[in-house]
Amino acid sequence: MTQPNDPRSARIPNTVLVLMGVSGSGKSTIAAELQRVLGWPFQEGDDLHPPANVEKMRSGHPLNDDDRRPWLEAVARWIDARLAAGEPGIITCSNLKRAYRRITIGDRRGVTLVYLKGRPGLIQGRIAARTHRYMPASLLQSQFDTLEEPGADEHPLVVPVEGTPAETAARLLELFAARNETTGAQRS
């Protein structure tokens, strides 16, 4: 395993962090910051989309559940590979519905769901200020319409995305370390 790059990582047990949220919530940026701090492998979930999904989104059409299934299964396979190897990791996946999270996380032990939560106005401003390879700003509302925030029974770490990516990543690490110290739980 890669050595951590930051002393804060000593308080973080091995787990697979699954960063979820709507497009523009900062999943990729925060995951990259976590990778820098923790030294853990990072998989950009968007890279696991089949080409047909990418083309559909690029043309401005939201994905349906049938479109998402092979992508969600690919995310689950990446998580399973990390768990089978006994190694930590970080992966991004919008995971907008509980049904999607049942596919990607389900009853897997050693996985922590991180919900990057932002106000629609904040996220809209971020989307307007960036260019994504295939996710047009016009699809953001469909993501908020689809979003089912994780319930307490899913044990998410809910992290507001109001600050900078470094501040958000630091807050996530603080919340995770505090939870681990309080409960000793690795299945968050």
Which residue ranges make up each domain of the chain?
A: 7-181
**Across the strands, what pairs with 157?**
114
Q: Which of 17, 21, 1 is nearest to 117 (CA)?
A: 21
pTM for the full model? 0.86
Count of CB atoms within 10 A of residue 171's CB?
A: 17
**The token pair that represents 128 in the structure block:** 């307007």
Write out the chain's pLDDT in tens, 188 residues: 334 555 555 556 679 999 999 988 999 999 999 999 999 999 999 999 999 998 888 888 888 899 999 999 999 999 999 999 999 999 999 999 999 999 999 999 999 999 999 988 888 877 766 665 555 556 677 788 889 999 999 999 999 999 999 999 999 999 998 888 776 554 44
* Gap between the Cα atoms of 138 and 125, Å rounded: 13
**What is the three-class DSSP state of 1?**
coil
Which residue carries 């307007």 as its tokens? 128
What's the Cα-to-Cα distance from 72 to each of 80, 97, 124, 130, rounded to whole Å?
Answer: 12, 11, 25, 25
Q: What is the per-residue pLDDT for 124? A: 80
| Candidate CATH numbers 3.90.1640.10, 3.40.50.300, 3.40.50.1000, 3.40.50.170; the one for domain 7-181 | 3.40.50.300
